[in-house]
Chain A
Amino acid sequence: MRRSAFLAGSAAAAVGANAVSASAQEIVRGVFANGDRPLVAYPQKRPLMVLTSRPPQLETPFRVFDSGVLTPNDAFFVRWHNANIPTEVDATAHRIAVTGAVNTPLSLSLDDLQRMPAVDVVAVNQCSGNSRGFFTPRIPGGQWANGAMGNARWTGVRLRDILDRAGLAAGAKQVQFDGLDGPVLPAAPDFKKSLDVDVARGSDVVVAYLMNGEPLPLLNGFPVRLVVPGWFATYWVKMLSAITVLDHADDQYWMKTAYRIPATPNHSVAPADSGYPTIPINTMVVRSFITNYADGDVVAQRPPDGKRPIRGIAFDGGSGIKSVEVSTDGGATWMPAALEQDYGKYAFRRWNAAPALPAGQHVLACRATANDGSTQTTTPVWNPGGYLRNSIERYTVTFG
């Protein structure tokens, strides 16, 4: 009885004013201005919301998050920076070069990795710009709704084991990661990201060759990608081909200029502010979502006991979820939700509640608190990158 979020065929052209195609296609209706997105099936993917096609940026339709705690590989969001992406990858020839401030440079094949001790971790991978389309005032950049995230079980080798095998030289400060993708124009900056050595040596940072037990889809970084649990996805370099240990703080574009957040309370500023210091974006902030209703839903049927099932997900930057509360009056009063199976401190934590509600319109909301004490408020952050949105989500739902 969900309000249909999809419009089929010829209606698409009228609704998606900026989406044009000769072929009929479904459109996911925008939840902010100019937010309509055509659904297109990319290789190894089910139809996803196309944000951009070159390079591909694909958003997961939000209803997918109601189907289970792990996000299926074929529904997992996609985000690339430069358009020169290999469309064919030879895993047998692929090597990861480990160089820089190391005692023994390495060239690791997939076979080499698979001979090392395997570990796995369930972790949320969320784009730094997830939910940017909801910022007010609006911000140029990727106009994501809330679906630039996913939760998967990642299997691979601890980055620490690789770094120990190479041996860090004295003075090692950061570790830089590069993938097979590159810019179209040589003058454009290649996409590279760096972590401080102590972060890179964390026990949960993994060079992953499996995603939910399967090889990675090419668009998610086949054959191997970096997994930095708790940290925003910008650090999870795809098609990982080079690990370079630096004896200095990385000063190239993608660290020094892009992906910066204000070093201010809540990393928030006023749109007119300037001159404040900035730091590289890092760990995620606590969020929660209802997954079985969308804002504006009309639910016709009434359960015999009058109890309305509400369920959703919560996650944070790696301390784990302590509690989730639900409100059915727009946030005036709160009741505890039941937490479901714990897949670890970096994973989506599913939760549910079943408040008795009379027929009519209700404003549902959810609020998570993490083990580190952080929680969500009604005040959205604002920063010029459109990062770190985590205010309380509200859903107006009409029950029969």
Chain B
Amino acid sequence: MRKQLAIAAAAALIPLAALAAPQIPPKVSVTMPPDPYAFKAGPGSAAAMGNCLTCHSAAYVVTQPPLDRARWDAEVTKMRKAYGAPVSDADQETIVDYLTATYGPKQP
């Protein structure tokens, strides 16, 4: 508490110009770390990786609560209709089978 008061007193003496907002750096560049999540290997996982990973990482799937086939089918349909994912009907079938078997109520 005493230290804070001392700093406040000192700050009051600083010319106004020195109290200007901190300099905003001209440029910020970052590198993202590796993805800690992945799809489990299994029948259909290649179709899931080939389609889903275009737009988002595996965690969008693997962190979900267990979803039944109708829910997974609704999710894939949403990706196609709302988000324009170019998933073929055949791939949707394969992907939904894979998701239901791997991330459904009866997980291996």
Give chain A's interface residues, CB within 8 Å of chain B.
18-21, 23, 25, 32-35, 37-38, 40-44, 50-56, 82-83, 87-92, 110, 114, 118, 133, 138-140, 143, 155, 183-189, 209-210, 213-215, 218-219, 222-223, 253, 257
Contacts and interface: CB of A to CB of B under 8 A. Distances in A.
B91 to A, nearest CB: 15
A143 B65 contact: yes
Q: Classify the interface of chain A: helix, strand, loop or mixed.
A: loop
Given A183-B83, A184-B54, A184-B55, A214 B27 contact: no
B14 interface: no
A213 B38 CA distance: 37
Interface residues of B, number: 37
A91 B28 contact: yes
A83 B60 CA distance: 12
Given A114-B21, A188-B84, A213-B22, A138 B32 contact: no
A218 B25 CA distance: 11
B27 A90 contact: yes
Contacts of A88: 27-30
Given A53-B57, A184-B55, A209-B24, A189 B65 contact: no
Contacts of A34: 63-66
Contact of A52 (B34, B38, B59, B67): B59
Contacts of B54: 184-185
A184 B32 CA distance: 17
Contact of A140 (B38, B64, B84, B85): B64
B36 A21 contact: yes
Given A18-B63, A53-B36, A209-B21, A89 B31 contact: no
A91 B27 contact: yes
Given A53-B59, A83-B55, A143-B63, A189 B82 contact: yes
B60 A52 contact: yes
B55 to A, nearest CB: 5
Interface string B65-77: 1110001000100
Contacts of B82: 189, 253, 257
B81 to A, nearest CB: 10
